[in-house]
Structure 1
Amino acid sequence: MYAMAVMNRHVCPVENWSYNESCSPDPAEQGGPKTCCTLDDVPLISKCGTYPPESCLFSLIGNMGAFMVALICFLRYGQLLEQNRHSWINTTALITGCTNAAGLVVVGNFQVDHAKSLHYIGAAVAFLAGLLFVCLHCVLFYHGATTRLDMAMAYLRTVLAVIAFITLVLSILLGQGSQELIS
């Protein structure tokens, strides 16, 4: 998507770090990157998938990813049921995983420039539900650990989940700060 967006002049290339406050409109030259870039042209993931034809690829990847997430959630749920681990945590993990998949569908099908609030709501649902899914599986893995290696993996998963949580909180806080600077 990034390469398509750069070649279609929808975003600026990553190596262009000299973004201007304003630019005169570039002539409609296809086949090359933009020469004058503003903060609206920063190649963020969602921004690269805003306009056709890359928006079609963005939607396809989002929907396929959501399908794979849901499939993995159901397989993991069934695997734990086969191990006689019937618990509310396993059921809650299934629900949060499917909620994550639903958030991914919303993100993939509502581009950021056309339905900003829906896109951001879908992203928030996907990130939060995905993080909760990972945390619940850390608990399930910890309770199912039988060897020292299993216990070490449970601790490693927990550390990685904590790092992901801290990263999510920092990105939200820093995102709010950058929104205030832009506004």
Structure 2
Amino acid sequence: YILAVYYGHLTPFFPYISMTGGKPPESCIFTLICSISSIIWLLIIYIRYVQVKQYYQKGINKIEILNRFTFCIGAVSVFGLLLVGAFQDYTFESAHMVASVILWIFGILHMWFQTLVSYKIYHTGLTRCIDRVNIFVRLIISLMALIISIN
């Protein structure tokens, strides 16, 4: 953002994230950050997948199928982030927009399916309060993402 404003590539008043990484040299940094974030995000998704799998070692059941499905949705959202970083807004706008839609839709779906997996596993005793807080926070995040993407 600072480089984009410094070089005069955009105005300093609330630009889209993609616009801050649209032209060199900031596009190189934007791509690097998106790539590193994708690797870390995929690692976190995989760790959560293995954690749930270890929790339920009873074999194939509904939670294991839901866990695999959730991992796949998360991997698609990570791929969307990689594409957003690879195709900058000014360079190849249509691919960038498709990647942004993939990132937003599958990211939100992953978040909600992960909430469902967590609820199915830990829905006993004291964790019901935590489940409600978790659902409330994810609802707020989803609404914020929807509002930001519409603007």
Q: What TM-score range do you get, normalising by the shorter chain?
A: 0.7 to 0.9
**Separation of aligned partners in 2, 1:11 and 1:167:** 24
Measure how far apart 1:142 and its partner are.
Answer: 1.1
Of 92, 96, 105, which residue of structure 1 is paired with 2:82? Answer: 105
- Structure 1 unmatched runs, 5+: 15-41, 176-183
DSSP-derived class of the 2:85 partner: helix
Give me the whole-angstrom Cα distance separating, in 2, the residues matched to 1:91 and 1:167. 27
Q: Which residue of 125, 147, 165 corresponds with 2:125?
A: 147
Match for residue 164 of structure 1 among 124, 141, 147: 141
RCO higher in 1 or 2 (8 Å CA, sep ≥ 6)?
2
- Name the structure with the higher helix share: 2
Letter in 1 for 2:3: M
Shift of residue 160 of structure 1?
Answer: 2.1
CA contact (8 A) 2:9 2:23 kept: yes
Q: Secondary structure at the match of 2:77?
A: helix
Structure number, greater radius of gyration: 1
- Equivalenced residue count is 145
- Say whether the 8 Å CA contact 2:56–2:64 is kept in structure 1: no
Shift of 1:141: 1.2
Matching residue of 2:60: none
2:30 to 45, 52, 58: 58
Q: 1:36 is matched with which residue?
A: none
Paired amino acid for 1:55: S
- Displacement of 1:76 after TM fit? 0.6
Match of 1:19 in 2: none
1:75-98 CA-partner distances (Å, limit 9, x unpaired) = 110011111165211011100110
Gaps spanning 5+ residues in structure 2: where? 58-62
Could you list the runs of 4 or more consecutive aligned residues of structure 1 that deviate by over 4 angstroms after TM superposition? none
Query: What is the rounded CA distance, in whole Å, between the counterparts of 1:169 and 1:60 in structure 2?
Result: 26
Q: Shift of the alpha carbon at 1:8?
A: 1.0
* Pairing 1:27-46 to 2, within 5 Å after superposition: 43-46=15-18
Partner amino acid for 2:47? L
| Partners of 2:10 and 2:104 in 1: CA distance | 25
Deviations, residues 46-78 of structure 1 (Å, cap 9, x unaligned): 111011110000000111111111111111100
Sequence identity, in percent? 26
What is the Cα deviation at residue 163 of structure 1? Answer: 2.4
Give TM-score scaled by structure 2 length.
0.88
Q: 1:67 aligns with which of 39, 53, 58?
A: 39
State the superposition RMSD in angstroms.
1.7
